[in-house]
């Protein structure tokens, strides 16, 4: 299982600014190891975000996203105390879901 995501959400101007740092290797499938063998592709393919359980964001990624990706987005109407959930799925079927409370 991957390390937990670091999620920060703060209220600002009628919504919440959300910042997410995901721990993932994000291999493209094009690099080679020290012995010359191709390192298999392993990357996040889908990220979803929810506000109090309702979907607010869905993105599809490919192998061009860097290691330990950082995602920032804004959610209108979020208030202090609301719950922001972030989930990802990678091309090997691994999954991770974490949640944070919006700070005032």
Domain, as residue range, for 94: 6-28+38-101
Question: How high is the pLDDT of residue 2?
Answer: 72
Measured from the Cβ of residue 80, the count of other Cβ atoms closer than 10 Å reads: 12
Is 1 a domain residue?
no
* Residue showing tokens 């719950």: 83
Q: What is the pTM of this model?
A: 0.92
> What is the domain-level CATH number for residue 20?
2.60.40.10
Question: How high is the pLDDT of residue 60?
Answer: 98
Is 49 a domain residue?
yes
Mean pLDDT in each 10-residue stretch from start to end of the chain (104 residues)? 90 96 96 96 98 98 96 97 98 97 94
């Amino acid at each position: 299982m991957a390390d937990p995501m670091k999620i920060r959400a703060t209220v600002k101007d009628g919504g919440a600014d959300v910042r997410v740092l995901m721990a993932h290797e994000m291999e493209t499938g094009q690099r080679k190891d020290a012995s010359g063998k191709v390192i298999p592709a392993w990357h996040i393919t889908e990220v979803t975000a929810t506000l109090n359980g309702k979907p607010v964001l869905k993105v599809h990624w490919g192998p061009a996203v860097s290691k330990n990706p950082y995602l920032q987005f804004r959610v209108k109407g979020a208030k202090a105390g609301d719950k922001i959930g972030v989930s990802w799925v990678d091309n090997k079927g691994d999954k991770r879901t974490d949640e944070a409370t919006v700070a005032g």
